[in-house]
């Protein structure tokens, strides 16, 4: 498929995904905030709570019923398409970025799996992830929220570890994000929406609603709320190769997920006396520790002495391994324009990208993509030494 067309297809699908994703995340954050901030002292026995709020120059009065009002309101707003369109556009984006160019973006260097088998592994992970999660939520663990959360995070970490053996670090991260997104949309489609339809049907029939279904729907909605920030990190992780490009990328993902869930918990509970206020400085400290731990090691002095190369040799290495993509006119069929606008046609352009090249080619070795040009360890060391000389 033409690289220019793929680029615009990527843009359109990604834009839709971001737009509807913001709508879904916003609704999730708002309704959990609303639930946590209801005034439970309301005297009306039909109400679970109420809330007064001001926004945009107007005052709002919101009420939540214990189960349902006596009769169905004429206009009832449903929240579902934000979730469905986010998942659909996400799967399309996964296909455009990783499955169309599987040999470039998806398959890990040295993997024994074919492109088709690796794609099947990714799709199977989405289905299997939902099934495992749903079974955990129906197991006795559902009565122990903290333990269920830890088991779920460990299961996702295991998935990240397994996928990283067959996929590039970036692809493994995004597939874990897709697994989480599938779990979240599965909650909406299989649990939350049926519970809401049953509630409405009971109201219309004049019968007493089953309280267990809305209760379970609220629980799954909270799960979605806590899973949101890890997914948001994964969505932007392709900009940070020191995370997905590390040999310990699966462990880094677990650490960032724990930080994300903790931060979300702080915001969900901060109306209760700020008892989790320590989470924010702890999260900052954890990120600083991860930055320190993942810092690339300097090239050893003995390697420097053996691997000294000239500007001409360094430029030749860059041209050989990076020039097909990072050029004013790329020769790679995967790109119509240089990725991220990084052009490395001459020495001056290369010097401007010193730190970026070192990070991606030498430190994390995520470039060249899939190591399609078979760049050797010695070449990376020589280039790294030359880049350090220029700093």
Using 70 as the pLDDT threshold, list the residues of the chain that sit under it.
1, 273-274, 298-307, 390-391
* CB count in 10 Å sphere of residue 382: 22
Nearest to 101, CA basis, from 336, 357, 362: 336
Encoded tokens for 214 = 């809305």
Residue 299: strand, helix, or coil: coil
Instruction: Determine the distance from the C-alpha atom of residue 96 to the mean position of all C-alpha atoms in its chain, rounded to a whole number.
Output: 17
pLDDT score recorded for residue 302: 44
Residue 64's contacts (CB-CB under 8 Å, 6 or more residues apart) are: 34, 35, 38, 47, 48, 49, 50
Burial class (CB in 10 A: 0-12, 13-18, 19+), 92: middle
The tokens describing 204, both together, are 């219309």
**CA separation for the pair 344, 324 (Å, rounded):** 10
Confirm if 268 and 36 have CB atoms less than 8 A apart: yes
Query: CA-CA distance, 121 to 166, in Å (whole number)?
Result: 9
The CA distance from 270 to 265, in Å, is 8
- pTM of the predicted structure, to 2 decimals: 0.88
Asked if residues 253 and 160 have their Cβ atoms less than 8 Å apart, the reply is yes
Q: What is the pLDDT of residues 345-357, one digit of tens each?
A: 999 999 999 999 9
pLDDT, tens digit, for every residue of 40-97?
A: 999 999 999 999 999 999 999 999 999 888 888 888 999 999 999 999 999 999 999 9
Q: What is the pLDDT of residue 334?
A: 81
Per-residue model confidence (pLDDT) at position 127: 97
Tokens 């799709």: give the residue.
123
Q: What pLDDT score does 65 carry?
A: 92
User: What pairs with residue 55 in β-bridges?
Assistant: 58
Cα gap 187→167, rounded to integer Å: 27
- If phi over 0 gives left and psi between -120 and 50 gives alpha, with beta otherwise, what is residue 56? left
Let me know: does 83 contact 188? Beta carbons within 8 Å.
Answer: yes
- Reported as type and span, the H/E element at residue 53 is strand 47-55
> Long-range CB contacts (< 8 A, 24+ apart) of 57-64?
62/34, 64/34, 64/35, 64/38
Task: For residue range 13-31, list pLDDT tens digits in order.
Answer: 999 999 999 999 999 999 9
Residue 122: how many CB atoms within 10 A of its CB?
A: 24
């Amino acid at each position: 498929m033409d690289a220019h067309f793929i680029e615009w297809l990527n843009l359109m699908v990604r834009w839709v995904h971001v737009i509807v994703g913001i709508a879904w995340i916003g609704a999730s954050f708002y309704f959990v905030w609303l639930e946590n901030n209801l005034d439970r002292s309301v005297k009306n026995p039909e109400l679970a709570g109420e809330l007064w709020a001001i926004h945009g120059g107007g005052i709002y009065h919101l009420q939540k019923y214990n189960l349902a009002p006596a009769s169905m309101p004429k206009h009832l707003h449903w929240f579902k398409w934000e979730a469905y369109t986010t998942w659909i556009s996400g799967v399309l984006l996964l296909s455009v970025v990783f499955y169309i160019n599987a040999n470039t973006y998806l398959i890990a260097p040295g993997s024994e799996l074919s492109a088709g088998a690796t794609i099947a592994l990714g799709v199977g992970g989405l289905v299997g992830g939902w099934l495992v999660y749903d079974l955990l939520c129906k197991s006795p663990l559902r009565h122990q929220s903290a333990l269920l959360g830890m088991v779920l995070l460990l299961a996702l970490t295991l998935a990240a570890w397994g996928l990283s053996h067959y996929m590039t670090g970036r692809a493994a991260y995004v597939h874990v994000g897709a697994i989480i997104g599938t779990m979240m949309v599965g909650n909406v489609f299989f649990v939350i929406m049926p519970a809401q339809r049953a509630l409405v049907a009971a109201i219309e029939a004049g019968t007493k609603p089953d309280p267990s279904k809305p209760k379970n729907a609220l629980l799954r909605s909270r799960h979605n709320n806590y899973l949101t920030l890890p997914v948001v990190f994964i969505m932007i992780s392709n900009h940070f190769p020191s995370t997905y490009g590390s040999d310990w990328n699966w462990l880094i993902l677990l650490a960032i997920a724990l930080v994300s869930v903790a931060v979300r918990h702080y915001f969900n509970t901060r109306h209760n006396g700020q008892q989790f206020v320590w989470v924010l400085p702890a999260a900052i400290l954890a990120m600083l520790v991860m930055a320190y731990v993942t810092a690339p090691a300097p090239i050893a002095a003995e390697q420097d002495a053996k691997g000294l190369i000239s500007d001409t040799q360094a430029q030749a290495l860059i041209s050989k391994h990076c020039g097909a993509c990072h050029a004013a006119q790329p020769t790679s069929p995967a790109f119509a324009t240089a990725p991220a606008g990084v052009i490395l046609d001459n020495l001056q352009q290369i010097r401007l990208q010193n730190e970026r090249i070192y990070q991606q080619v030498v430190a994390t070795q995520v470039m060249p993509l899939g190591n399609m040009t078979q760049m050797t360890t010695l070449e990376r060391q020589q280039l790294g030494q030359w880049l350090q000389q220029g700093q």
